Structure 1
Amino acid sequence: MANRRNLKKEINFVTGELLAECLFNKQYVPGTNAAKADELIGQIIGIQDEYLQRVNANGGKEPKQVKAYYKKLREDFDAAVDGVFEGLSELNK
């Protein structure tokens, strides 16, 4: 299991890249729905805030509980990022 500092850096990096992609689409790709892009930006910021808070909250005292907590956190984060990718693909429709 990676330490919390690296996990926070990864969350910040991924959400930063998603924000950059969304802003690029909004500004430079013709036909992009600006309202959907703004909604997606809000969703990305919410994901970042939620998962950084969850990293700071420890899953328990026992190592098995902590490991399970962070495994679930990573799975949930991956699922949230997949949802953002789906939203990005629908911006130009």
Structure 2
Amino acid sequence: MASVRELKKDINFLASELITEAYVKQLVKEDVNNDKIAEVMVKAIEFRNDLVAKANHPDAKNNPKKVKAYYQNLRKSMMEQFLSISEETNAL
């Protein structure tokens, strides 16, 4: 299992990718709505903050199997949220 440190690095990387994607979209497309871009950026920051908080405080700390399952579900949730926000950015 990857460490919590690596998980947080992945979370930070994905959040920065979402924000970068939104900035590039804003610079490249002239007809993009700046309010919608700002909403996507706020979602990316909330995505990051929420997942880091969850990574710092796992459920059932005394049961290794539950902790492992918790982090696996967290990674799955992370990827689903990342794809959702990325698709939203591409739709702008």
Gaps of 5+ in 2: none
Structure 1 residue runs without a partner (length 5+): none
Query: What is the RMSD computed on CA atoms of the aligned residues?
Result: 1.0
The alignment-based identity, stated in percent, is 31
Pairwise mapping of residues 16-55 of structure 1 onto structure 2 (< 5 A)? 16-55=16-55
1:89 CA drift (Å): 1.4
Count residues with an aligned counterpart.
91
CA apart distance, 1:49: 0.2
Map of 1:78 onto structure 2: 79
- CA displacement 1:40-65 (0-9 Å, x = unmatched): 00000000000000000022111110
CA contact (8 A) 1:59 1:70 kept: no
Normalising by structure 1, we get a TM-score of 0.92
1:40–1:84 Cα contact (<8 Å) kept: yes
Q: Distance in 1 between matches of 2:78 and 2:17?
A: 15
Between the aligned partners of 1:79 and 1:3, the Cα distance in structure 2 is 20
Match of 1:5 in 2: 5
